Amino acid sequence: MRIGIDARKIDDTGIGRYIENLARALLRIDGRNEYVLFLPPGRELDDSYPKGRLTAVVETAGNYSLAEHWSLARKASRYGLDLYHAPHYVLPLLLSRRSVVTAHDIIHLREPSFGAAARAYARFMLGSATRRAERVITVSEHTKRELVEVIGTAEAKIMVIPPGGGDDFTRPAEAAILSALKLLGITPRYFLFVGSDRPHKNLRAAAGVMRAAPDARFVVAGRVREPSRTMFAGMEERVRFIGQVDKPALAALYSGAAALLFPSYHEWFGLPPLEAMACHTPVVASRRAPIPEVTGDAAALFDPDDHAGMARALLVLRDDTAARAAMVEKGIARARLFSWEETARRTLEVYEEALR
């Protein structure tokens, strides 16, 4: 069969990682089917994508635009697709091919900062996509329950397939870690926050930890606007904002950190904890769903507003060698449970079910 995947968000954080790793793993394990990836303008695929059964097609229609509904539907027909996979909740309204949609979360309906228009659009598109698709993939049991209860998605058509998580991250050699940190101007024994300043990411918790622990230092990797940095007023010398970094630099940042803080109020899944665990770094995280599904007992979990509790746990993981080693061992074992190859294998099964 010929399978089309909407890969226009391939360079986004989170969903972009899902698209990139899923597509690469599908091409690696599937020797029978052909794939068409719809890519944003200027995006080329490197040699890590197996060639021969892959066609890359430029799609100029923007995400969340009217044009995407007719343009992608037209291309699905032009390229003779048997199946179309929307790895985000937008399934083209004019699509006539069989389809699978991945609905990662309903965060647009839960997080007020997205605004009324975004909530209305998300509710409509989630409902439309999950009704029309032959199968719906989601990444956690938590999101499956929300799709059933809030969107009204038929439970029988939903398959829970977690993403691979940390198996594409490994801890670099110590010399490489120190070299990368030196280039960034960072010295070890810092705590790491990976994410943006969107309210649901709860960057405020890092500032709260720094107030509760005057010797705590943070590195923040992700998009953080200047106004958001004012929450660290008076603590500027203890926090570094380095923006988004590439994968090798991120692996070094995970590996050089005393611990990762992941205090989100809402998440679609939560890749950073597994990535940190794969790099032998302990994790302190929010206990809000679906994060406990991801971390199991391999992270210290707290209410996202319990800054003092987070601070105590982070300091223990930094300063207590035995406690740190025990948590690192649990984390390594946990990260090994999540494989992109397994994600691809189960996704391929869903494709075959959708066509039957």
pLDDT in tens, 281-325: 999 999 999 999 999 999 999 999 999 999 999 999 999 999 999
Q: Are residues 107 and 134 in the same domain?
A: yes
Q: Are residues 86 and 223 in the same domain?
A: no
Give buried/exposed letters for 248-262 (b at 16+ CB in 10 A, else e). ebbbbbbbbbbbbbb
Q: Are residues 76 and 173 in the same domain?
A: no
CA 248, CA 246: separation in Å to the nearest integer? 6
**To the nearest whole number, what is the mean pLDDT of the chain?**
95
- What was the pLDDT predicted at 222? 95
- What was the pLDDT predicted at 336? 94
Of 206, 189, 210, nearest in space to 256 by CA: 189
Look at the block and give the residue holding tokens 């793993």: 25
Q: Mind listing the pLDDT tens digit for each residue in 244-289? A: 999 999 999 999 999 999 999 999 898 999 999 999 999 999 999 9
- What was the pLDDT predicted at 99? 98
Q: Are residues 85 and 128 in the same domain?
A: yes
Q: Are residues 284 and 158 in the same domain?
A: no
Q: Are residues 121 and 224 in the same domain?
A: no
| Count of the separate structural domains present in the chain | 2
Q: Are residues 220 and 329 in the same domain?
A: yes
- What was the pLDDT predicted at 46? 84
Please state, for a pLDDT cut of 70, what percent of the chain lies above it: 100
Q: Are residues 155 and 32 in the same domain?
A: yes
Q: In the predicted model, what is the mean pLDDT of residues 160-188?
A: 93
Q: Mind listing the pLDDT tens digit for each residue in 224-241? A: 999 999 999 999 999 999
Helix ranges, 170-306 (H): 174-184, 204-212, 247-256, 271-278, 291-295
Q: Which domain holds residue 75?
A: 2-164+339-355
Of 337, 209, 334, nearest in space to 263 by CA: 209
- What was the pLDDT predicted at 299? 98
Of 89, 38, 99, nearest in space to 64 by CA: 89
Q: Are residues 112 and 179 in the same domain?
A: no
Residue 272, preceding peptide bond in cis (omega within 30° of 0): no
Of 31, 52, 49, nearest in space to 39 by CA: 49
Q: Are residues 152 and 170 in the same domain?
A: no
Q: Are residues 139 and 170 in the same domain?
A: no
Q: At 10, which CATH number?
A: 3.40.50.2000
Q: Are residues 141 and 189 in the same domain?
A: no
